Structure 1
Amino acid sequence: MDLDELLTRQHGMLSRAQAIASGLNARRVEWLVTSRRWRRVHAGVFATFTGPLPFEAQVWAAVLRAGRGAVAGHRTAAYLDGLCDDAGPVIHVTVPADRYVQCKIDGVRVHYAHRLPHTRHPSKNPPRTRLDDTVLDLVDVAPHPREAEGWVTAACQRRLTTPQRLADALARRKKIRWRPMTEAMLADGAQSPLELRHLRRVERAHGLPTGCRQRRIAGSRVSWIDVDYDEYRVRVELDGRIGHTGEGRFRDRRRDNRATVDGHATLRYGHADVFGDACGVAAEHVRVLRARGWTGRPRSCGPSCQVAP
């Protein structure tokens, strides 16, 4: 690849090593910089044009500075692929775990990955991780289950991938944070892992009354209630449909509105609630059930449990 082709591919960014390999000597490179025809962006990395750096050029500069095998990753790769609308304040790059970037790079966060040869996209420009692996990388570093849930949901709702493709990518990973919740989000089945988690970690663990599950409600339209505490006119909806948009959401809204008109209280939870804060969910159940006549005695499931007996 000649110099012009390389500059076009790399959005005008060039490393010192690439410049010399293309026939320029070190003296010529320094003259181009001191004469302000080029400018130094990072150590050994130059912009060969003047004016503001487009985002793709900033990514290329970070990748070139990080060195062999580096690609855009995490939030930067997510932004490039349309998974999020805000690139964030720093550029994220991922490098193979068998090498180490010695010096800190201003404005760049470096991640290391053992499986990068398998998770690197083969052709996208700037180079980046494959979208399914980008989603899972972001899940892995998410500080809270709600954020992890948000990345999976966004990827599917924006039609960038499918639950099956994410599940396949997840199966290839030995270690990842929030694995049980992520597996539950991507699973199929009438009695979903989300429903089972609610039964075991919310209801049974805290001594709540046993709700009727998957109750069929007939009317002008047939609908299903995930958990129905009919005696207390309380319903729980467990929203585990990560790609659930459009008409489906309007049906849910109409069903909840009808329930309210009929005197039912509806509580709605997702994966991040049930997997990330089962005690908090149980505490809300207790407050609503007691307000509607339940006289039972709940129990704490551990020393830090929010449910008071």
Structure 2
Amino acid sequence: MVSRAQALACGLNPRALEWRVGSGRWRRVHAGVFATFSGPPSFEAQVWAAILRAGRGAVASHRTAAYLDGLCDDPGSVIHITVPADRYVQCKIDGVRVHQAHRLPLTRHPSKNPPRTRLDETVLDLVDIAPHPRDAETWVTAACQRRLTTPERLADALGRRKKIRWRPMVEAMLSDVADGAQSPLELRHLRRVERAHGLPTGCRQRRVAGQRVIWIDVDYPEHRLRVELDGRIGHIGEGRFRDRRRDNRATVDGHATLRYGHADVFGDPCGVAKEQARVLTTRGWTGHPRSCGPSCPIRPHDHQ
């Protein structure tokens, strides 16, 4: 891919450039951008074309940068490009979405080609435009699962951002890497799910001895209900099978298990409370869940 300015700087005159396009040796991809080969362009070639069309300082970003770095397996139908905030691309570019960023000189990768944002910044850009907390959670988890970054690096990048959507949830996710009885996820469940909706108080981090010692995040022994709060990022492999064996063993013993992640507890605490209340009621709880505010879906007698 080559821009008109690049071709002229290399000594090609305008007439020779037009001859190459007219003869079919080159193809016009965008206004002022040409493919110097025949056949369909690769994805990277399409990205280069979009960058050249967007002009000075442009880099691949968001889902496009994520695909280039192996963060996702589908590049999507639109190429995402970010330009410095002091620039405005006036003409619409087919198949390209142009973003603007004040911090682009700090967030672009210093050497990768095609030019793109740094991996940690790409993750946070995707979190910022995520329509639902579960989508934001998925990007953070995927980056750590695929060993492309670490929670510590993401937390460092997050700390440098003044504004970002879903900040409390992402901060909690990154803090919950180290398991602990007072993790942000467990505190959020205690305050926004249990107390705010008048649910019975569970036993937290309960140790249960057997053939193997297990720890239960929130246990309601009277009602034989267990709540597991999965605060581990990139939880795969043996850990997943261990959770499944624990849940199956609890079911055999007559316990029900509900499992929630950050997107559930931070994104929909009222929905979590409503679900827990229904299960507790079927298991003998005679209390009444209460609404935590005007927008809460829990209404009187929802437990019945």
TM-score band, normalised by shorter chain: over 0.9
Q: Deviations over 1:268-302 (max 9, x none)?
A: 00000000000000000010000000000111011
Q: Which runs of 5 or more residues in structure 2 are unaligned? A: none
Q: Establish whether residue 213 from structure 1 lines up as the match of residue 204 from structure 2.
A: yes
User: What is the CA–CA distance in structure 2 between the aligned matches of 1:44 and 1:203, rounded to whole Å?
Assistant: 60
CA distance in 1, matches of 2:90, 2:112: 27
Identify which of 267, 281, 289 aligns with 2:272. 281
Cα distance in 2 for residues equivalent to 1:115 and 1:88:
25
- Cα deviation for residue 222 of structure 1 reads 1.2
Separation in 2, partners of 1:46, 1:192: 54
Measured in 2, the distance between the counterparts of 1:119 and 1:27 equals 40
Name the SS for the 1:41 alignment partner.
Answer: strand
Equivalents in 2 of 1:158, 1:96: separation in Å? 29
Q: Distance in 2 between matches of 1:168 and 1:17?
A: 39
Answering whether residue 145 of structure 2 is matched by residue 157 of structure 1, we say yes
Establish whether residue 229 from structure 1 lines up as the match of residue 217 from structure 2.
no
Kindly report the root-mean-square deviation, in angstroms, between the aligned alpha carbons of the 2 structures: 0.7
Give the aligned partner of residue 230 of structure 2. Answer: 239
- 1:1-309 matches, cutoff 5 A: 13-188=1-176, 189=178, 190=180, 191-309=182-300
Structure 2 letter corresponding to 1:222: V
| Counterpart AA for 2:15 | R
Aligned length: 297
Cα distance between partner residues in 2 of 1:227 and 1:44 = 61
Gaps of 5+ in 1: 1-12
Distance across 2 between alignment mates of 1:308 and 1:256: 30
User: What is the TM-score of this pair, normalised by structure 1?
Assistant: 0.95
Q: Tell me the percent identity.
A: 85
Kindly provide the amino acid, as one letter, of the partner of residue 42 in structure 2: P
Partners of 1:222 and 1:104 lie apart in 2 by 61
- The separation in 2 between residues aligned to 1:65 and 1:39, in whole angstroms, is 14
